[in-house]
């Protein structure tokens, strides 16, 4: 199995390329937030039901899914990667029932890396890169050049 940062980078790239958004993501100005949400298309028999948010802010890349509960939006998980040169390094992991774990440069990321790798594989298996199954909703930094809303 590939390391989580390599797999997360490859999966994010594959999903964005499939939707024709990789160049926009890659060329985001460091002082801007770029964020999309991939939702299941209405009527599609998709393998996924949770929206996927892909966001970039400076050197940070965030991948997140969420559900809407009675009183709140519950994110689970939220993975943050720091883009260092061409490599991604997991910076934090949030799980709804366990909270946030932020990693210092020397911290052991073994458990978080294993979770991230497993989750990223599931993203591909469930069809987030299949344009016939998902639709893009611009949250920030794209679409018609307007920031619609910022969620992450």
The domain total for the chain is 1
In a domain, 67, yes or no: yes
In a domain, 136, yes or no: yes
User: 4: pLDDT confidence band, cut at 50, 70 and 90?
Assistant: low
What are the strands of the beta sheet with 60-68, ordered from one edge? 99-102, 87-95, 73-84, 60-68, 52-57, 33-40, 134-140
Rounded to 10°, the helix 110-125/4-18 angle is 30
In a domain, 132, yes or no: yes
Is the overall model pTM greater than 0.95, yes or no? no
Question: Would you state the pLDDT for residue 44?
Answer: 77
Range of the domain at 36: 4-140
In a domain, 147, yes or no: no
Question: What phi and psi, each to the nearest 5 degrees, are found at residue 118?
Answer: -65, -45
In a domain, 152, yes or no: no
In a domain, 149, yes or no: no
In a domain, 83, yes or no: yes
- Does position 109 have pLDDT exceeding 90, yes or no? no
In a domain, 78, yes or no: yes
């Amino acid at each position: 199995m590939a390391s989580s940062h390599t797999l997360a980078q490859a999966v994010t790239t594959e999903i964005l390329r499939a939707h024709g958004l990789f160049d926009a993501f890659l060329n985001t100005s460091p002082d801007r937030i770029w964020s999309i949400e991939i939702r299941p298309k209405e009527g599609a028999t998709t393998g996924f039901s949770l929206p996927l948010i892909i966001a970039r802010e400076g050197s940070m890349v965030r991948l997140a899914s969420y559900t809407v509960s009675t009183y709140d939006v519950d994110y689970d998980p939220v993975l943050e990667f720091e883009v260092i040169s061409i490599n991604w390094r997991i910076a934090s992991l949030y799980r709804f029932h366990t909270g946030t774990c932020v990693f210092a440069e020397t911290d052991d990321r073994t458990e978080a890396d294993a979770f991230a790798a497993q989750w990223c594989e599931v993203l591909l298996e469930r069809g987030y890169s299949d344009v016939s199954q998902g639709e893009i909703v611009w949250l920030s930094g794209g679409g018609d050049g307007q920031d619609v809303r910022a969620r992450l």
